Structure 1
Amino acid sequence: MAIDLPNEIDTMIKHKRPTDTDFDYLKTEGGYIPYDETILTDALVALAQGKNVLLKGPTGSGKTKLAETLANYMAQPVFSVNCSVDLDAESFLGFKTIKYDDNGQQQIDFVPGPLVQAMENGHILYIDEINMAKPETLPLINGALDYRRTVTNPLTNERIVAKEGFNVIAAINEGYIGTTRLNEALKNRFIVFDISYIGGEQLKTLIQSETALNDNTMIDRFIQLSSDLIEVAEQGKIAEDAASIRALIDACDLAAVIPAKRAIQRAIVDKLEDDREKEAVRNVADTLFE
């Protein structure tokens, strides 16, 4: 579902798009369906103005899909970094390796990482789960995130200046095991967007367009299942993972072929570790499906 952007925003974005027509394939229908349409338009304004965007929300709420959709509207390829506690400078910047020239002589070669490639090409860098990275790693990219748009690569001592069009989109799940509180100096370099689970007609549109399920009665029951699971998750009785829209989509796909309760068991329940959480999800499903 494409969003009709206000003229002034559409003009801003077009001016920021690369002129290379090879990127036209990115400007497609579909993508993230927002529960609040202003999230998409406001994030596009921020990117068009050269600002960094931070997407904050629970797992499965569509943060990665929103990042892909923003890139589509901007007609920009994306370089991605998936953060973890093992993330180091090389994961962002690249690494040195040995290669051989035509005479068989060894040479030290540098293989650029996603940050360097995005900066040098003027493309988008997507940093997933940025608050899982070690606090000492992230300051390496501070210069790329502020007005300087530069970093000094400690592996090569090269000063890298971002090409026009370079943008950063990051995503976080707050409160998860393995995550840390995002440094305020780093957070201040972003425009922050709270991303919530979608529901109602938006979720119905997503299920109809992204899954094999076409039984409207069954779709309505899955929408109610999603709403009930989100409520139970907010009460702290189940993990947010159980209310993931991503897991719900998987369950809908399976339910097009197998019984709905079995689909929910495979796509949602079996992902959980706690027996009480599993039982809570089954109880919710029992109220909606035979």
Structure 2
Amino acid sequence: RRAIDVPGYERVEVDPAARFIGTMNYGYAGTRELNEALTSRFVVIQMPSIDQDGLVRLLSDEFPTLEKKYKEQFAQLFLDLQKKCENAEISEKALDLRGLLDALRLIRRGVGANRALDMGITNKAFDSYEQSLIRDVIAARIPAKLDRSRLFTD
């Protein structure tokens, strides 16, 4: 069937070359098992978790002027948080790659590293004890007084 019925609108014919892609972060809060009807209509591609090299490449693409040693530190910070999540020491709320990238964007705009990482990562957890654990992980990798001038070469 090459058409979509849009309630309150009309039937839309779909070009034969059109493809639909959906994503799901399996295991995240709010996600459920895919039902049989859905899985029988689509193919499922399992994506591995991003590794250190992949994170460094991503940071290099997103932030070409980020100092190499800090690309590695921020990549390792993400992996450290991931390990804490896997060991159930912190919730998955803090394991947020978008939040890490947002924090780096804030730093590039002049916000201090600790403040930016609080906004992008730490504050995603609401429990004060969990926040202190996250801050400890961050402090082990990222110097407290780190700012834009030391992180970026531009």
TM-score with structure 1 setting the length:
0.43
Alpha-carbon RMSD across the aligned residues, in angstroms, is 2.5
Aligned counterpart, 1:288: 141
CA distance in 1, matches of 2:124, 2:64: 22
Aligned counterpart, 1:210: 62
State whether structure 2 residue 93 is matched by structure 1 residue 241. Answer: yes
SS at match of 2:58: helix
Q: 2:34 aligns with which of 182, 196, 201?
A: 182
Q: 2:82 aligns with which of 224, 230, 235?
A: 230
Aligned counterpart, 1:221: 73
Q: Select the structure that is richer in strand.
A: 1
Q: Which runs of 5+ in 2 are unaligned?
A: 144-154
- Asked whether the 8 Å contact 2:2–2:16 carries over to 1, the reply is no
Aligned counterpart, 1:268: 121
Q: Select the structure that is richer in helix.
A: 2
Cα deviation, residue 188, structure 1: 1.7
Aligned counterpart, 1:45: none
Q: 1:192 aligns with which of 34, 44, 53?
A: 44
Q: How does 1:159-170 map to 2 (within 5 A)?
A: 160-170=12-22
- Cα deviation, 1:133-155, whole Å, max 9, x if unaligned, reads xxxxxxxxxxxxxxx33445665
Aligned counterpart, 2:146: none
- Asked whether the 8 Å contact 1:152–1:159 carries over to 2, the reply is yes
Cα deviation, residue 258, structure 1: 4.0
State whether structure 2 residue 106 is matched by structure 1 residue 254. Answer: yes
Cα deviation, residue 220, structure 1: 1.5
Q: How does 1:11-22 map to 2 (within 5 A)?
A: none
CA distance in 2, matches of 1:217, 1:285: 15
Q: Which runs of 5+ in 1 are unaligned?
A: 1-147
Structure 1 pair 252/199, CA: closer, same or farther in 2 (3 Å)?
A: farther
Cα deviation, residue 229, structure 1: 0.7
Cα deviation, residue 164, structure 1: 1.5
Cα deviation, residue 225, structure 1: 0.3
Structure 1 pair 216/176, CA: closer, same or farther in 2 (3 Å)?
A: closer
Aligned counterpart, 2:132: 279
